[in-house]
Amino acid sequence: MDVRIGIVQSIKELDIELPADADRDKVLADVEVALAKEGSILWLTDRKGRRVGVPAGKVAYIEVDAPASDRRVGFGVS
């Protein structure tokens, strides 16, 4: 699962690749908790085990990939 985080006053965004077994709902809950508390830091651990911390006050937006079951491949009509 990929998480993209836009940073206030920065043209770059952080792209963090989480482990394949990461729980999407838990990640979203952790994001909401971190953003709700003033002065907190959002911590995420990527596939390689590196911890990435982002001050919640500097987050402009967060984009989380759709679950793998919602992804479609091909040209099928739904």
Taking only the tens place, the pLDDT of each residue in 9-18 is 999 999 999 9
Taking phi over 0 as left and psi of -120 to 50 as alpha, with beta for the rest, 60 belongs to: alpha
On whether the pTM is more than 0.85, the answer is: no
| Rounded Cα gap, residues 19 and 75, in angstroms | 28
pLDDT of residue 69: 53
Tokens representing residue 28 in the block: 């979203």
What are the DSSP E strand ranges found in the chain? 2-7, 13-17, 41-45, 51-55, 59-64
pLDDT at 39 over 70: yes
Q: What is the mean pLDDT of the chain?
A: 86
Residues 23-47 have a mean pLDDT of 91
pLDDT of residue 65: 84
Residue 38 pLDDT class (50, 70, 90 cuts): confident
